[in-house]
Structures are given as structure tokens and as C-alpha cells.
Amino acid sequence: MTTYDDSQHPRATDGKFAIKEVTEASGGLTALAPESWRSESDRVGELGHLISRADRRREGIVARDLAAQVRADVPEAAYLTLDENCDQPECYTLHLASVHDSQGNTLYDVNENPRYTVEDAVAGAGLSEPDHGSEPDYITTSGTRREGYSYRFDLDAALKGRQGGLATADRGQSVINDYRVMHDDMDLSDETAARDMVTDLYHWAQRSGVDFDDLVSRAAEVGRDESALGMVAGSKS
């Protein structure tokens, strides 16, 4: 016997634990099976799209972190010139050629006055050659295959996190949307879905031995740091 009344739970009244009426589709529930409306090639194509999107987001996050490191080390830097010059076999990542200010002046050149902290940051990022014609916003390609390509890496564009990774608030919105779909809470407001998501993180922290209050405090600190670096919050939905 229990005295717990889940109707009094704050999530029960806004849809989280509510019993929702389901209207059966025409043809029965089997009509909702994926095979009835998506072919195998459709599902493979969708999976490929999701993987590609995940790769772009990963690259965008890496690019943003790289831009933050360079800006912290060289505040006047506006963009980097990257190339594929590498003396290692089987090397397919981009490497630093030079650092420039907003006027195009060369601040550092790897062949003349190298900046090893920036070189190490670029090497550690492991950015791969982008697909020509579909580069993220922070990359501009010049040159030819015969002569070799050169890539301009724009720090401000990378910090804003446009194409390679969503802007900060837009990523938060995307997580809220995914959470809502995952838990069938499409009727919840953004604020309520965010509260439920944070509540679930609280329970995860309790189980994992993580200090939740400290985690929230550090997250707020990182958010303030990102704002100070000039990262845009993202579009309001």
C-alpha cells in the first residue's frame, strides 16, 4: 500500500505522466509500422543524413573550440590560413599556415615567426578538408587542385557556430525539441520540457555521484564565458 498520489506531482498536471488518449490509425496499428511507409533505401538515406549532420555538428563544435583558443591566445587575430601541407604519411587534416588580423596583415607565419600554441591548437583540432562547394560558414576555399588549396578559417564565424554547429541557444532549443519527441511530450511548453529535462539530469547526478548544484553553477559560468567571447545566443523560436 502506498500513500503517494501521483496526481499531485508537478509533472502529472502538465502532460509528463498524464494518460493520453490514442486514436487508432486507419488499418490498425500495423499501418503505423515504418515498413508500411518507408522503404529500406529511405531508412538508409535518413540514417546517412543523421550521421552527416552529426559529423557537421562535431566539426562545428571543434571549430568553435579552436577559434576560442586562438582568440584567447591572440586577441587581435581575425582569421587563420590553413593548408594541407604535411610531412607525415597518411595525413589528411588541415595545418596552420599563418595568422591574420582583420585588415589582412600577417601576425604569424609558420615559416617565419611561428606561433606554436596556435599551431598545436590547429593540429589538435584535426580539421579535415571540407567538401568543396558545401563548406561551413567559417571556411572559405581558394586555389586549385593542381596548385593546392588554401582555406581561410574565420574566427568570428566559427565562434558564432552557424553551419557546422548550431548557435548556443539554438542547440538548446534542438535538445528540448528532441527531448519532447523522445518522451512523447509534444504538448509541453519549452519551459516545462526544459524543467523536466533538468529534473532528469538531477536524478542522473544523484545516481552518478555528481554534485548537481556545482554542475549548474559551472554551466552558468561557461555560458557567461561564451557570451564574453562573442558567441551569439541564436535565433528566438
> Average pLDDT for consecutive 10-residue bins of the chain (237 residues)?
58 56 50 50 57 67 89 94 80 88 94 86 86 83 84 91 56 81 76 91 93 92 77 51
| Cα distances (angstroms) measured from residue 51 to each of 57, 63, 223 | 10, 18, 27
Q: pTM of this prediction?
A: 0.51
Which of helix, strand or coil describes residue 186? coil
Segments making up each domain of the chain, as ranges? 42-160, 166-228
Query: What pLDDT score was predicted for residue 224?
Result: 83
How high is the pLDDT of residue 51? 58
Sheet with 106-109: strands ordered across = 106-109, 95-100, 79-83, 148-154, 139-144
